[in-house]
Chain A
Amino acid sequence: MRMRHNKEIFINGYRHGIPIGLGYFAVAFSLGIAAREYGFSAAQGFLASLVTYASAGQYMGFALYATNATLIELIILTFIINARYILMGFALNQRMPEGTPLRTRLLVSSCITDEIFGITIARPGVPTPFYTFGALIAAVPLWALGTALGISMGNILPARVVSALSVALFGMFIAVIVPPSRKDRAIGIAVLTSFAFSYAFANLPLVSELSEGNRTIILTIAISALFAALMPRTNKDISTDAADSGDGGAK
């Protein structure tokens, strides 16, 4: 019974991973076009995407390779550009009760990408590796395939189609953040504030020179801290969260 339940959760994750994978495919295609310039073969790009599955981080990694950066530089910059994953890891672990085995925590966290994190956190209940791996197994091969195809035939798709596909990923982000914004006004205000500051940071002098990954981490910490101070969760909210996470994620 338990195994059957887990299989269903896995299939559920797989289904949710497919639209993510399609979005990845489009984005990976443009990553592949860049990777080709940086001297990666289709097979190397495929491998890199399969094992790394990190969009901005990979783009930077490819560029660093082309500029003969040292491995130390690569490690430090990878840490910085992917620092948001640490926060996402904390948010997922926060949902796991005391006594959750380390391997479960590691397995769930190993699946973190922006989108898989998004659908996992949007799903009620305790995060389970069956769900996250279902999504990962659906999405990552398409990410790798898109990269390889971008490298080998980046110029085959018309610019119009690439342009349209490139918003797929953002569409998924929107689908994750809007329903909770409607449900909880505090999230809605936080989202609008994030839009405003993100726009400002992308355009103001000095801060706009930070990489996109760095702007994301700085703004995430600052805005989340601001809202935690101004609109903290009440005891009632928190006990509702606990009730949510008690159902084992049956939905």
Chain B
Amino acid sequence: MKSNIYVYIFVMALATWFMRVAASLVMKKPITNRFFQSFLYYVPYVTLAVMTFPAIIDATQSPLAGAAALIVGITAAWFGAGLFQVASFCCLTVLVLELFLC
């Protein structure tokens, strides 16, 4: 039987929220274990890197445009461009390149 769609949405939201707060429920102070500290130090960068590549190449109509956006984004961020600037550069790169590629 199909669940009521609103019950379904509510359960999805609650389950997602629980993942967000799970650590807060068990952690009372910073962990002092060296390995765990180092592990958590790397987690954010590794997660975002894994999610960026190769996904950026699959996101665009032409994989080449996605790859170019990645390179442009890395270069811009390396030389100090901010969040919005880097995102804009990436979008523009794809927009311009796909005029020729697609």
Which residues of A are interface residues toward B (Cβ below 8 A)?
16, 18-20, 22-23, 40, 44, 47-48, 51-54, 57-58, 61, 65, 68, 70-71, 74-75, 78-79, 82-99, 102, 105-106, 108-112, 114, 117-119, 121, 159-161, 163-182, 186-187, 190-191, 194-195, 197-199, 202-203, 212, 215-216, 219-220, 223-225, 227-229, 231-233, 238, 241
Q: A90 near B86 (CB under 8 angstroms)?
A: no
Question: Taking CB as reference atom, which chain A residue is nearest B44?
Answer: A121
CB distance from A146 to the nearest CB of B (A): 15
* Residue in B25, B45, B59 whose beta carbon sits within 8 Å of that of A166 in the complex: B59
Within 8 A of A (CB), among B38-89: 38-56, 59-61, 65-66, 69-70, 73-74, 77-78, 80-89
Q: A79 near B19 (CB under 8 angstroms)?
A: yes
Question: Taking CB as reference atom, which chain B residue is nearest A218?
Answer: B50
What are 8 pairs between A and B in contact, CB < 8 Å? A19-B87, A52-B9, A61-B8, A61-B12, A85-B16, A96-B30, A105-B21, A167-B66
Task: Tell whether A178 pairs with B77 under 8 Å between CB atoms, given A71-B7, A195-B49.
Answer: yes
Question: Taking CB as reference atom, which chain A residue is nearest B8?
Answer: A65
* Residue in A86, A175, A195 whose beta carbon sits within 8 Å of that of B83 in the complex: A175
CB distance from A8 to the nearest CB of B (A): 18
Within 8 A of A (CB), among B1-47: 1-3, 5-13, 15-25, 27-31, 34-47
The residues of A that contact B56 with a CB separation of less than 8 Å are: 167, 170
The residues of B that contact A219 with a CB separation of less than 8 Å are: 46, 50
Question: Taking CB as reference atom, which chain B residue is nearest A165?
Answer: B91
Interface of A is mostly: helix
Q: A191 near B87 (CB under 8 angstroms)?
A: no
Q: B30 near A191 (CB under 8 angstroms)?
A: no
Question: Taking CB as reference atom, which chain A residue is nearest B9?
Answer: A48
The residues of B that contact A190 with a CB separation of less than 8 Å are: 42, 45-46, 49
Interface residue tally of chain B, by bracket? 35 or more
Q: A109 near B23 (CB under 8 angstroms)?
A: yes
Q: A51 near B90 (CB under 8 angstroms)?
A: no
Q: A52-B9, A96-B30, A175-B83 are known contacts; what are 9 more A-B pairs with Cβ within 8 Å?
A: A18-B84, A57-B16, A79-B15, A89-B22, A187-B45, A190-B42, A194-B46, A212-B55, A224-B39
The residues of B that contact A99 with a CB separation of less than 8 Å are: 29
Q: B65 near A178 (CB under 8 angstroms)?
A: no
Q: B46 near A175 (CB under 8 angstroms)?
A: no
The residues of A that contact B82 with a CB separation of less than 8 Å are: 175
* Residue in A71, A84, A121 whose beta carbon sits within 8 Å of that of B8 in the complex: A71
Task: Tell whether A171 pairs with B21 under 8 Å between CB atoms, given A61-B12, A232-B35.
Answer: no
Q: B23 near A93 (CB under 8 angstroms)?
A: yes
Task: Tell whether A227 pairs with B74 under 8 Å between CB atoms, given A97-B29, A172-B86, A232-B34.
Answer: no
The residues of A that contact B52 with a CB separation of less than 8 Å are: 170, 173-174, 177, 195
* Residue in A44, A161, A163, A174 whose beta carbon sits within 8 Å of that of B9 in the complex: A44
Task: Tell whether A85 pairs with B20 under 8 Å between CB atoms, given A74-B15, A199-B54.
Answer: yes
Question: Taking CB as reference atom, which chain A residue is nearest B1?
Answer: A68
* Residue in B25, B46, B84 whose beta carbon sits within 8 Å of that of A220 in the complex: B46
